[in-house]
Amino acid sequence: MARLHEYQGKALLAARGLRIPAGDAVRTAEQAHDAASSLGGKVVLKVQAWITGRKAKGGVLFASSPDEAEAAAAQLLRMRFGNFPVEEVLVEELLDISHELFVSLTIDDAAQAPMLLLDCEGGSGIEDRADSVARIPISVSEGIDRGRVLAVLAESSIPSAAHEALADAIAAIVQTAGDIEARSLEVNPLVVLADGSVCAADCRVTIDDYAVFRHPELGIEIARELDHPATALESVAYRLEQEDHRGTFYFAQLPTEGWESTKGLIGFHGAGGGGSMMSMDAVTNEGYTLANFCDTSGNPSAAKVYRAARVILSQQGLTGYFGSGSGVASQEQFHSAYGLAKAFNELGMTLPVVVRLGGNAEDRAVDILEDACRDLPAAVEGYRKDDTPAFCAERFSALMENASGGASGELTRRVPDWVGGDAEAFPIEGGHVWIDIERCNREITAKLGEWSSGILKDGGEGTPVLACDEETAAKSDSEFIACEIECLRAGHPVLFVDLPIAGIDCPQEVC
pLDDT tens string 263-309 = 999 999 999 877 889 999 999 999 999 999 999 998 999 999 999 99
The predicted structure's pLDDT at residue 229: 78
Degrees, nearest 5: CA angle 54-87-262: 75
Q: What is the CA radius of gyration of the chain?
A: 28
pLDDT band for 510, please (50, 70, 90 cuts): low
- For the chain, domain boundaries: 22-93, 97-218, 232-410, 424-498
**Residue 229 DSSP label:** P
CATH of 232-410, one of 3.40.50.261, 3.40.50.10490, 3.30.530.20, 3.40.640.10: 3.40.50.261
Q: How far apart are CA 157 and CA 154, in angstroms?
A: 8
Per-residue pLDDT tens over the stretch 413-437: 999 999 988 888 999 999 999 999 9
**Among residues 419, 426, 429, which one has the least CA distance to residue 496?**
419
pLDDT of residue 49: 87
Distance CA 42, CA 63 (A): 6
Give the model's pLDDT for residue 511: 63
pLDDT tens digits, residue range 100-132? Answer: 999 999 998 888 889 999 999 877 767 667 778
Which pairing describes strands 359-360 and 329-332: parallel, antiparallel, or unpaired? Answer: parallel
Cα 191 to its chain centre, rounded Å, is 34
Phi, psi of 212 (to 5 degrees): -60, -40
DSSP code for 95 = P
Which has more pLDDT, 10 or 130? 10
Structure confidence at residue 382 (pLDDT): 97
C-alpha pair distances (Å), 92 with each of 20, 39, 50, 54, 71: 10, 8, 18, 16, 15
Q: Tell which CATH classification among 1.10.10.1100, 3.40.50.300, 3.30.1490.20, 3.90.650.10 matches the domain 22-93.
A: 3.30.1490.20
- Domain 424-498: assigned CATH number: 3.30.70
Identity of the amino acid at 77? L
CA dist 127 and 154 (Å) reads 23
Q: Please determine, looking at this structure, whether the domain spanning 97-218 carries the CATH number 3.90.1150.10.
A: no
Q: Give pLDDT, residue 327.
A: 64
Segments of 238-295 assigned E as strands: 250-253, 265-269, 289-290, 292-295
pTM as predicted: 0.82
Tell whether omega for the bond before 189 is within 30 degrees of 0, i.e. cis. Answer: yes
